[in-house]
Amino acid sequence: MVPIAWDNITDLESNLAAYLPDSYKYLLSTYGLVRTPNVLTKTCDLNVEISNVQDFLSLEDVCSLSKLYEMTGMPTGHILFASDSKGNMYCFKLSDCENKQTDCAVWFFDRAISSVTKVSDTFVEWLDGLNEPTTNNSI
């Protein structure tokens, strides 16, 4: 993982006309883009139910995919930041990013049903949840 320059992050905010949460910007500027390409394999191998986040989007993809997904059925007003292995997306609400804030809620766009649902009250809480696999007895 390679940290992303602060100038690139502020350029993204300018392009989005929004303020990304400080917690997300800290992750990018300190660690870079998180990637878990083997998450599906590990889920099956370990017989556990874990978050299916596969990639944090590049800064270019944050902007372009947010627009593209709206054109293909996602409700308007969201900033995508991570994907899962099925093309679903994790995002922030644009309305939550109108002002500077330390943290904000995370939402999930389900492509199959074209709906957005809240999955966490904060980005930090959502990240913490990625580290808490639970046993899945139904597999």
What pLDDT sits at residue 55?
A: 87
* Positions of the chain with pLDDT under 70: 35-52, 132-139
> Residue 129's pLDDT is what?
84
Q: CA 116, CA 15: separation in Å to the nearest integer?
A: 23
Residues with Cβ within 8 Å of 26's Cβ and at least 6 positions away in sequence, in order, are none
pLDDT reported for residue 105? 98
Round to whole Å and give the CA distance between 67 and 36. 24
41 C-beta neighbours (distance < 10 Å), count: 9
Residues 6 or more apart whose Cβ sits within 8 Å of residue 96: 104, 105
Q: Classify the C-alpha dihedral 73-70-58-127 as positive or negative.
A: negative
CA distance 111 to 134: 25
Domains of the chain and any CATH numbers:
6-132 (3.40.1580.10)
Both tokens assigned to 120: 């966490």
pLDDT on residue 35: 67
